[in-house]
Amino acid sequence: MRVITGLSKGRKLKTLQGIDVRPTSAKVKQALFSIIQFDIEGRRVLDLFAGSGQLGIEALSRLSDSAVFIDSSKEAVNIIKENLEFTGLKDNALVLNTDALSYLFNTIEKFDIVFIDPPYNSELAEKSLKSIEQVLNKGAIVVCEAKKTSDFPEEIGGFSLKRYEYGNTTLCIYR
């Protein structure tokens, strides 16, 4: 797993190990960032269920203004911090070891891009979408990665869904 382009292009990122870990594939990540490539620079990013932090790190590498990484796993938080240090992107990042839904309910921060990539079969993506509006700036983009059979609403707030399918993975992008 590497940073695709930008300031940290080619840097290899560490990831968690285990059967429950499902990092975004290179193909899906490339497709995602091709879709939103002109909407990243200067934006505030929230990476929920961050895992290794690869989505937020890719956005920082592509000149997003800042990124907040949320994960409830202490091991994931440590990996994210190591990856941010290794890529030289830690100055524009905040890493929090907390529950994503609690963060959404309690933060006053606003974001331009939100990545939601929870464990499959957890229903956490759907729960996050129900609480996401309060953290979005006008014109924000919300990206959910889920298994192909996942069912998401066609609209949240004033944001409309567009689906992209890659093998068993679906990217649901709300604009």
* Paired tokens of 145: 């990665």
Distance (Å, whole) CA 109 – CA 36: 22
Q: What domains are defined for the chain?
A: 26-82+100-174 (3.40.50.150)
Distance (Å, whole) CA 29 – CA 83: 17
Q: What angle do CA 25, 31, 36 make, to 5 degrees?
A: 125
Give pLDDT tens digits along the chain (175 positions).
899 999 999 999 999 876 455 678 889 999 999 999 999 999 999 999 999 999 999 999 999 999 999 999 999 999 999 999 999 999 999 999 999 999 999 999 999 999 999 987 788 998 999 999 999 999 999 999 988 888 889 999 889 999 999 988 999 999 9
CA dihedral 71, 74, 75, 77 (to 10 degrees): 50
Token pair 């505030």 in the structure block, residue: 44
Task: Name the strand (E) or helix (H) holding 140.
Answer: strand 136-147
What is the model's pLDDT at position 19?
45
Instruction: Spell out the SS3 assignment of 88-117.
Output: CCHHHEEEEECCHHHHHHHCCCCEEEEEEC
CA distances from 14 to 27, 85, 95, 153, 162 (A): 18, 11, 16, 33, 30
What is the model's pLDDT at position 22?
63
What is the model's pLDDT at position 43?
98
Alpha carbon 140 to its chain centroid, in Å, reads: 13
What is the model's pLDDT at position 170?
92
pTM: 0.95
